[in-house]
Amino acid sequence: MNIGQAARASGVSAKMIRYYEQIGLVRPAERTDSNYRSFDEKNVNELRFIKRARNLGFSVEEITNLLSLWRDRARPSREVKAIAEDHVAELEGRIAEMQAMADTLRHLSGCCAGDDRPDCPILMDLAAGDPRPAGTGRRTAKGRFGG
């Protein structure tokens, strides 16, 4: 099948297929005599694998490792599990950071009157430029602790 057909069958755009080839994530597709890419079912399965892994938030480096393990039928599953567990820990850390940001913004919104006056604790907090992550006990514009 050509790249358009492989894209439809895998759910990965032709542009991304070309990119994955360029960065070495997938092996370059075979070429026809007229130099068009030619994909088979194995290529499409790899593209589906990559799409699913991307949807789960794995990095290109992690996907490279997972693909290598997937292709190796003699692989120990503990290596795959370790990659997955590391990724879960990373996701949970990002979730905690985002929750702290939401908590801080919720608190700042609660401090803002939201009326016709120009005073705004949200803008004052942003202007303070505190580089610490949201939710780490930073003071808000009204002197209260956020997060």
pLDDT (0 to 100) of residue 28: 87
Helices 3-10 and 14-22 meet at what angle, rounded to 10? 100
User: Which fold, 1-75?
Assistant: Multidrug-efflux Transporter Regulator; Chain: A; Domain 2 (1.10.1660)
Sequence spans of domains, the chain: 1-75, 84-147
What is the pLDDT tens value at each position of the chain, 147 positions in all? 999 999 999 999 999 999 999 999 998 888 988 888 999 999 999 999 999 999 999 999 999 999 999 999 999 999 999 999 999 999 999 999 999 999 999 999 999 999 999 999 999 999 998 766 555 554 444 444 443
How many Å from the N-terminal Cα to the C-terminal Cα in the chain?
54
What are the residues whose beta carbons fall under 8 Å from the beta carbon of 122, sequence distance 6 or more?
105, 108, 109, 111, 112, 141
What are the residues whose beta carbons fall under 8 Å from the beta carbon of 17, sequence distance 6 or more?
3, 6, 7, 10, 26, 47
